[in-house]
Chain A
Protein backbone atom coordinates (compact mmCIF):
# COMPACT_ATOMS: atom_id res chain seq x y z
CA UNK A 1 0.00 0.00 0.00
CA UNK A 2 1.32 3.47 -0.82
CA UNK A 3 2.06 5.97 1.90
CA UNK A 4 -1.02 8.15 1.89
CA UNK A 5 -2.90 10.46 4.19
CA UNK A 6 -3.59 8.90 7.58
CA UNK A 7 -5.79 10.37 10.24
CA UNK A 8 -3.38 9.15 12.88
CA UNK A 9 0.36 9.50 13.25
CA UNK A 10 1.25 6.38 15.25
CA UNK A 11 0.10 2.79 15.59
CA UNK A 12 0.61 1.09 18.96
CA UNK A 13 0.17 -2.65 19.35
CA UNK A 14 -1.39 -3.84 22.62
CA UNK A 15 -2.03 -7.30 24.01
CA UNK A 16 -4.48 -8.21 26.78
CA UNK A 17 -3.52 -11.20 28.92
CA UNK A 18 -4.66 -12.95 32.09
CA UNK A 19 -6.66 -15.93 33.39
CA UNK A 20 -9.91 -17.16 31.88
CA UNK A 21 -13.02 -15.24 32.92
CA UNK A 22 -11.31 -12.14 34.34
CA UNK A 23 -13.07 -9.96 31.74
CA UNK A 24 -10.40 -9.28 29.11
CA UNK A 25 -12.83 -9.28 26.16
CA UNK A 26 -15.33 -7.20 28.12
CA UNK A 27 -12.64 -4.59 28.82
CA UNK A 28 -11.78 -4.49 25.11
CA UNK A 29 -15.46 -4.22 24.19
CA UNK A 30 -16.08 -1.49 26.75
CA UNK A 31 -13.10 0.45 25.41
CA UNK A 32 -13.86 0.08 21.68
CA UNK A 33 -17.69 0.09 21.75
CA UNK A 34 -18.38 1.85 25.08
CA UNK A 35 -20.79 -0.95 25.95
CA UNK A 36 -20.81 -3.80 28.42
CA UNK A 37 -21.10 -7.21 26.86
CA UNK A 38 -23.11 -9.41 29.23
CA UNK A 39 -22.91 -13.23 28.83
CA UNK A 40 -19.65 -13.03 26.97
CA UNK A 41 -18.55 -16.55 25.93
CA UNK A 42 -14.93 -17.60 26.43
CA UNK A 43 -12.80 -16.22 23.62
CA UNK A 44 -11.75 -18.62 20.88
CA UNK A 45 -8.01 -18.08 20.40
CA UNK A 46 -7.66 -14.34 19.86
CA UNK A 47 -9.83 -11.35 19.17
CA UNK A 48 -8.88 -8.03 17.69
CA UNK A 49 -10.06 -4.47 18.20
CA UNK A 50 -8.94 -0.98 17.27
CA UNK A 51 -9.63 2.57 18.37
CA UNK A 52 -8.04 5.89 17.54
CA UNK A 53 -7.17 7.98 20.58
CA UNK A 54 -5.39 11.29 21.14
CA UNK A 55 -2.36 11.80 23.34
CA UNK A 56 -0.96 15.34 23.69
CA UNK A 57 -2.38 16.35 20.33
CA UNK A 58 -1.16 13.25 18.48
CA UNK A 59 -3.68 10.83 17.00
CA UNK A 60 -2.73 7.25 17.78
CA UNK A 61 -4.34 4.08 16.48
CA UNK A 62 -4.41 1.28 19.04
CA UNK A 63 -4.37 -2.23 17.57
CA UNK A 64 -5.42 -4.50 20.39
CA UNK A 65 -5.01 -8.28 20.45
CA UNK A 66 -7.18 -9.86 23.10
CA UNK A 67 -5.98 -13.37 23.92
CA UNK A 68 -8.04 -16.29 25.23
CA UNK A 69 -7.37 -17.10 28.88
CA UNK A 70 -7.99 -20.85 28.55
CA UNK A 71 -4.90 -22.93 29.15
CA UNK A 72 -5.41 -24.83 25.88
CA UNK A 73 -4.70 -21.66 23.89
CA UNK A 74 -1.75 -20.48 25.90
CA UNK A 75 1.04 -21.95 23.77
CA UNK A 76 -0.13 -20.32 20.57
CA UNK A 77 -1.37 -17.03 22.03
CA UNK A 78 2.24 -16.46 23.14
CA UNK A 79 3.08 -15.90 19.46
CA UNK A 80 0.94 -12.73 19.58
CA UNK A 81 3.03 -11.12 22.33
CA UNK A 82 5.94 -10.29 20.07
CA UNK A 83 6.16 -6.64 19.12
CA UNK A 84 3.62 -5.40 21.64
CA UNK A 85 4.20 -1.83 22.82
CA UNK A 86 1.70 -2.24 25.65
CA UNK A 87 0.48 -5.24 27.64
CA UNK A 88 -2.64 -5.09 29.79
CA UNK A 89 -2.41 -7.82 32.42
CA UNK A 90 -5.81 -8.49 33.98
CA UNK A 91 -6.98 -10.27 37.14
CA UNK A 92 -10.39 -10.45 38.83
CA UNK A 93 -10.53 -8.75 42.25
CA UNK A 94 -13.18 -11.28 43.38
CA UNK A 95 -11.07 -14.37 42.58
CA UNK A 96 -7.74 -14.66 44.34
CA UNK A 97 -6.51 -17.48 42.09
CA UNK A 98 -6.48 -15.09 39.11
CA UNK A 99 -4.28 -12.74 41.15
CA UNK A 100 -1.99 -15.57 42.28
CA UNK A 101 -1.31 -16.49 38.65
CA UNK A 102 -0.07 -13.00 37.78
CA UNK A 103 3.59 -13.86 38.25
CA UNK A 104 3.30 -16.51 35.55
CA UNK A 105 1.61 -14.06 33.14
CA UNK A 106 4.22 -11.46 33.99
CA UNK A 107 7.06 -13.89 33.26
CA UNK A 108 5.55 -14.57 29.82
CA UNK A 109 5.07 -10.88 29.15
CA UNK A 110 8.64 -10.03 30.16
CA UNK A 111 10.18 -12.90 28.23
CA UNK A 112 8.22 -12.44 25.02
CA UNK A 113 8.08 -8.65 24.65
CA UNK A 114 10.86 -6.08 24.55
CA UNK A 115 12.25 -4.33 27.65
CA UNK A 116 10.38 -1.11 26.80
CA UNK A 117 6.94 -2.72 26.64
CA UNK A 118 4.66 -0.89 29.05
CA UNK A 119 2.89 -3.39 31.31
CA UNK A 120 -0.31 -2.20 32.94
CA UNK A 121 -1.92 -4.24 35.73
CA UNK A 122 -5.73 -4.14 35.82
CA UNK A 123 -7.83 -5.39 38.72
CA UNK A 124 -11.17 -5.88 36.96
CA UNK A 125 -14.72 -6.16 38.37
CA UNK A 126 -14.21 -3.42 40.98
CA UNK A 127 -18.00 -2.90 40.88
CA UNK A 128 -18.25 -6.14 42.89
CA UNK A 129 -16.62 -4.70 45.99
CA UNK A 130 -18.73 -6.84 48.37
CA UNK A 131 -17.15 -9.98 46.91
CA UNK A 132 -13.61 -8.60 46.94
CA UNK A 133 -10.91 -11.23 47.47
CA UNK A 134 -7.82 -9.12 46.73
CA UNK A 135 -7.23 -5.77 48.43
CA UNK A 136 -6.29 -2.67 46.48
CA UNK A 137 -3.23 -2.18 48.67
CA UNK A 138 -1.62 -5.54 48.08
CA UNK A 139 -2.12 -5.33 44.31
CA UNK A 140 -0.73 -1.80 44.36
CA UNK A 141 2.33 -3.08 46.19
CA UNK A 142 2.77 -5.96 43.73
CA UNK A 143 2.60 -3.44 40.89
CA UNK A 144 5.19 -1.18 42.51
CA UNK A 145 7.56 -4.03 43.25
CA UNK A 146 7.42 -5.10 39.61
CA UNK A 147 7.45 -1.66 38.01
CA UNK A 148 3.92 -1.93 36.62
CA UNK A 149 1.27 0.73 36.23
CA UNK A 150 -1.93 -0.18 38.08
CA UNK A 151 -5.64 0.59 38.27
CA UNK A 152 -8.76 -1.17 39.42
CA UNK A 153 -11.44 -1.04 36.70
CA UNK A 154 -14.93 -2.21 35.92
CA UNK A 155 -15.71 -3.36 32.40
CA UNK A 156 -19.35 -3.38 33.51
CA UNK A 157 -19.67 0.25 34.64
CA UNK A 158 -16.78 1.50 32.52
CA UNK A 159 -14.98 2.91 35.57
CA UNK A 160 -11.27 3.58 34.85
CA UNK A 161 -11.35 1.56 31.61
CA UNK A 162 -10.48 4.57 29.42
CA UNK A 163 -7.72 5.55 31.84
CA UNK A 164 -6.04 2.14 31.70
CA UNK A 165 -5.82 2.14 27.91
CA UNK A 166 -4.96 5.85 27.65
CA UNK A 167 -2.36 5.90 30.44
CA UNK A 168 -0.58 3.00 28.74
CA UNK A 169 -0.50 5.00 25.48
CA UNK A 170 0.73 8.11 27.29
CA UNK A 171 3.59 6.13 28.83
CA UNK A 172 4.54 4.63 25.45
CA UNK A 173 4.41 8.07 23.84
CA UNK A 174 6.57 9.46 26.64
CA UNK A 175 9.09 6.67 25.99
CA UNK A 176 9.20 7.69 22.32
CA UNK A 177 9.65 11.37 23.24
CA UNK A 178 12.51 10.79 25.66
CA UNK A 179 14.22 8.40 23.25
CA UNK A 180 14.05 5.28 25.40
CA UNK A 181 11.86 3.57 22.79
CA UNK A 182 13.63 3.19 19.46
CA UNK A 183 11.06 3.44 16.66
CA UNK A 184 13.44 1.71 14.26
CA UNK A 185 13.82 -1.36 16.43
CA UNK A 186 12.12 -4.32 14.76
CA UNK A 187 9.83 -5.17 17.65
CA UNK A 188 9.10 -1.81 19.26
CA UNK A 189 5.37 -2.33 18.68
CA UNK A 190 5.11 1.23 17.36
CA UNK A 191 4.76 2.36 13.77
CA UNK A 192 5.07 5.99 12.76
CA UNK A 193 2.76 7.25 10.02
CA UNK A 194 2.93 10.51 8.11
CA UNK A 195 -0.12 12.43 9.32
CA UNK A 196 -0.56 14.55 6.20
CA UNK A 197 -0.19 13.62 2.54
CA UNK A 198 3.09 14.67 0.98
CA UNK A 199 2.87 17.50 -1.52
CA UNK A 200 2.89 16.06 -5.05
CA UNK A 201 5.67 18.44 -6.16
CA UNK A 202 8.25 17.20 -3.70
CA UNK A 203 7.17 13.63 -4.25
CA UNK A 204 9.60 12.70 -6.98
CA UNK A 205 11.50 10.30 -4.76
CA UNK A 206 10.36 6.71 -4.52
CA UNK A 207 8.08 6.27 -1.51
CA UNK A 208 9.94 5.05 1.54
CA UNK A 209 9.09 1.67 3.03
CA UNK A 210 8.66 3.21 6.45
CA UNK A 211 5.19 4.54 5.87
CA UNK A 212 3.95 1.26 4.48
CA UNK A 213 0.79 -0.04 6.09
CA UNK A 214 1.34 -3.63 5.01
Chain B
Protein backbone atom coordinates (compact mmCIF):
# COMPACT_ATOMS: atom_id res chain seq x y z
CA UNK B 1 0.00 0.00 0.00
CA UNK B 2 2.91 2.31 0.81
CA UNK B 3 3.91 2.27 -2.84
CA UNK B 4 0.43 3.30 -4.00
CA UNK B 5 0.31 6.15 -1.49
CA UNK B 6 3.85 7.35 -2.06
CA UNK B 7 4.09 6.84 -5.80
CA UNK B 8 4.61 10.03 -7.84
CA UNK B 9 3.60 10.76 -11.37
CA UNK B 10 6.13 11.81 -13.96
CA UNK B 11 5.58 15.57 -14.46
CA UNK B 12 5.60 15.03 -18.23
CA UNK B 13 2.64 12.65 -17.93
CA UNK B 14 0.77 15.10 -15.72
CA UNK B 15 1.33 17.83 -18.31
CA UNK B 16 0.06 15.63 -21.10
CA UNK B 17 -3.25 14.90 -19.33
CA UNK B 18 -3.56 18.51 -18.20
CA UNK B 19 -3.21 19.72 -21.80
CA UNK B 20 -5.98 17.37 -22.92
CA UNK B 21 -8.27 18.52 -20.10
CA UNK B 22 -7.61 22.21 -20.78
CA UNK B 23 -8.18 21.73 -24.48
CA UNK B 24 -11.57 20.10 -23.88
CA UNK B 25 -12.49 22.76 -21.31
CA UNK B 26 -11.84 25.43 -23.93
CA UNK B 27 -14.09 23.60 -26.37
CA UNK B 28 -16.81 23.57 -23.73
CA UNK B 29 -17.20 19.79 -23.27
CA UNK B 30 -14.93 17.70 -21.08
CA UNK B 31 -15.25 13.92 -21.48
CA UNK B 32 -15.63 12.01 -18.22
CA UNK B 33 -12.61 9.92 -19.07
CA UNK B 34 -10.45 13.00 -19.66
CA UNK B 35 -11.51 14.44 -16.32
CA UNK B 36 -10.88 11.14 -14.55
CA UNK B 37 -7.44 10.65 -16.14
CA UNK B 38 -6.40 14.18 -15.21
CA UNK B 39 -7.76 13.83 -11.65
CA UNK B 40 -5.92 10.54 -11.14
CA UNK B 41 -2.67 12.17 -12.30
CA UNK B 42 -3.23 15.17 -10.02
CA UNK B 43 -3.69 12.88 -7.04
CA UNK B 44 -0.32 11.27 -7.79
CA UNK B 45 1.39 14.66 -7.95
CA UNK B 46 4.01 15.76 -5.41
CA UNK B 47 2.05 18.89 -4.59
CA UNK B 48 -0.82 19.14 -2.13
CA UNK B 49 -2.56 21.79 -4.22
CA UNK B 50 -2.72 19.34 -7.13
CA UNK B 51 -4.06 16.59 -4.87
CA UNK B 52 -6.85 18.88 -3.63
CA UNK B 53 -7.71 19.76 -7.20
CA UNK B 54 -7.76 16.07 -8.17
CA UNK B 55 -10.14 15.25 -5.32
CA UNK B 56 -12.45 18.12 -6.35
CA UNK B 57 -12.55 16.90 -9.97
CA UNK B 58 -13.48 13.40 -8.79
CA UNK B 59 -16.19 14.76 -6.46
CA UNK B 60 -17.61 16.54 -9.48
CA UNK B 61 -17.67 13.30 -11.51
CA UNK B 62 -19.24 11.42 -8.62
CA UNK B 63 -22.20 13.83 -8.42
CA UNK B 64 -23.53 12.85 -11.85
CA UNK B 65 -22.51 9.20 -11.96
CA UNK B 66 -25.18 6.49 -12.02
CA UNK B 67 -23.00 3.45 -12.71
CA UNK B 68 -21.83 1.64 -9.54
CA UNK B 69 -18.52 0.46 -10.99
CA UNK B 70 -17.57 4.00 -12.04
CA UNK B 71 -18.71 5.34 -8.65
CA UNK B 72 -16.54 2.76 -6.93
CA UNK B 73 -13.50 3.93 -8.90
CA UNK B 74 -14.10 7.61 -8.10
CA UNK B 75 -14.74 6.91 -4.41
CA UNK B 76 -11.59 4.83 -4.12
CA UNK B 77 -9.38 7.48 -5.70
CA UNK B 78 -10.95 10.23 -3.57
CA UNK B 79 -9.99 8.06 -0.58
CA UNK B 80 -6.45 7.69 -1.95
CA UNK B 81 -6.29 11.49 -2.40
CA UNK B 82 -7.38 12.16 1.17
CA UNK B 83 -4.93 9.54 2.42
CA UNK B 84 -2.08 11.23 0.59
CA UNK B 85 -3.19 14.52 2.13
CA UNK B 86 -3.20 12.79 5.53
CA UNK B 87 -6.93 13.53 5.92
CA UNK B 88 -7.51 10.06 7.30
CA UNK B 89 -11.00 10.45 8.81
CA UNK B 90 -12.35 11.67 5.49
CA UNK B 91 -10.53 8.92 3.59
CA UNK B 92 -12.17 6.29 5.80
CA UNK B 93 -15.65 7.60 4.96
CA UNK B 94 -14.97 7.14 1.25
CA UNK B 95 -13.56 3.67 1.80
CA UNK B 96 -16.77 2.77 3.64
CA UNK B 97 -18.70 3.93 0.59
CA UNK B 98 -16.58 1.68 -1.67
CA UNK B 99 -17.25 -1.26 0.64
CA UNK B 100 -20.98 -0.60 0.50
CA UNK B 101 -20.86 -1.01 -3.28
CA UNK B 102 -18.43 -3.94 -3.22
CA UNK B 103 -18.27 -5.59 0.22
CA UNK B 104 -15.37 -7.91 -0.60
CA UNK B 105 -13.09 -5.33 -2.23
CA UNK B 106 -9.56 -6.09 -1.03
CA UNK B 107 -8.05 -2.84 -2.31
CA UNK B 108 -10.48 -0.95 -0.04
CA UNK B 109 -9.62 -3.29 2.84
CA UNK B 110 -5.88 -2.78 2.35
CA UNK B 111 -6.27 1.00 2.24
CA UNK B 112 -8.43 0.85 5.39
CA UNK B 113 -5.72 -1.13 7.22
CA UNK B 114 -3.03 1.25 6.02
CA UNK B 115 -4.92 4.30 7.30
CA UNK B 116 -5.72 2.70 10.68
CA UNK B 117 -2.02 1.97 11.15
CA UNK B 118 -1.07 5.54 10.22
CA UNK B 119 -3.69 6.95 12.60
CA UNK B 120 -2.47 4.75 15.40
CA UNK B 121 1.10 5.88 14.82
CA UNK B 122 0.08 9.55 14.63
CA UNK B 123 -2.02 9.03 17.76
CA UNK B 124 0.99 7.69 19.63
CA UNK B 125 3.11 10.60 18.46
CA UNK B 126 0.31 12.98 19.55
CA UNK B 127 0.16 11.33 22.94
CA UNK B 128 3.93 11.64 23.27
CA UNK B 129 3.69 15.37 22.53
CA UNK B 130 0.87 15.84 25.08
CA UNK B 131 2.83 13.71 27.56
CA UNK B 132 5.94 15.79 26.97
CA UNK B 133 3.98 19.00 27.46
CA UNK B 134 2.55 17.64 30.73
CA UNK B 135 6.03 16.79 31.94
CA UNK B 136 7.29 20.25 31.01
CA UNK B 137 4.32 21.86 32.76
CA UNK B 138 4.94 19.69 35.84
CA UNK B 139 8.55 20.85 35.77
CA UNK B 140 7.50 24.49 35.61
CA UNK B 141 5.06 24.08 38.49
CA UNK B 142 7.77 22.33 40.48
CA UNK B 143 10.22 25.09 39.70
CA UNK B 144 7.62 27.74 40.70
CA UNK B 145 6.98 25.91 43.97
CA UNK B 146 10.70 25.69 44.64
CA UNK B 147 11.13 29.40 43.92
CA UNK B 148 8.19 30.25 46.21
CA UNK B 149 9.69 28.13 48.97
CA UNK B 150 13.01 29.94 48.59
CA UNK B 151 11.30 33.27 49.13
Bound Cα distance A33, B29 (Å): 45
Assess whether B94 is interfacial by the CB under 8 Å rule: no
- Provide the residues of chain B in CB contact with A45, threshold 8 Å: 40, 73, 76-77
Bound Cα distance A63, B4 (Å): 12
Q: Name the distance in Å between A209's Cβ and chain B's nearest Cβ.
A: 18
- Provide the residues of chain A in CB contact with B104, threshold 8 Å: 39, 41
Residue of A nearest to B72 (CB): A44
- Asked if residues A48 and B37 are in contact (CB atoms below 8 Å), the reply is no
- Asked if residues B10 and A44 are in contact (CB atoms below 8 Å), the reply is no
Assess whether B13 is interfacial by the CB under 8 Å rule: yes
- Asked if residues A41 and B105 are in contact (CB atoms below 8 Å), the reply is yes
- Asked if residues B37 and A76 are in contact (CB atoms below 8 Å), the reply is yes
Count of A interface residues, CB-CB < 8 Å: 17
Bound Cα distance A37, B102 (Å): 15
Assess whether B69 is interfacial by the CB under 8 Å rule: yes
Assess whether B24 is interfacial by the CB under 8 Å rule: no
Interface size class of B (residues with CB under 8 A): 20 to 34
Bound Cα distance A82, B17 (Å): 16
- Provide the residues of chain A in CB contact with B143, threshold 8 Å: none
- Asked if residues A44 and B73 are in contact (CB atoms below 8 Å), the reply is yes
Bound Cα distance A40, B106 (Å): 8
- Asked if residues A72 and B107 are in contact (CB atoms below 8 Å), the reply is no
- Asked if residues A79 and B10 are in contact (CB atoms below 8 Å), the reply is yes
Assess whether B33 is interfacial by the CB under 8 Å rule: yes
- Provide the residues of chain B in CB contact with A72, threshold 8 Å: 33, 36, 70, 73
- Provide the residues of chain B in CB contact with A41, threshold 8 Å: 102, 104-106
- Asked if residues B77 and A44 are in contact (CB atoms below 8 Å), the reply is yes
Give per-residue flags for B13-46: 1 if the beta carbon is below 8 A from chain A beta carbons, else 0.
1000100000000000000010011001100000
Chain A to chain B contacts (Cβ below 8 Å), 28 pairs: A40-B106, A41-B102, A41-B104, A41-B105, A41-B106, A43-B107, A44-B72, A44-B73, A44-B76, A44-B77, A44-B107, A45-B40, A45-B73, A45-B76, A45-B77, A47-B107, A48-B4, A63-B3, A72-B33, A72-B70, A72-B73, A75-B17, A75-B33, A76-B37, A76-B41, A79-B9, A79-B13, A82-B10
Query: B residues bordering A, Cβ < 8 Å?
Result: 1, 3-4, 9-10, 13, 17, 33, 36-37, 40-41, 69-70, 72-73, 76-77, 102, 104-107
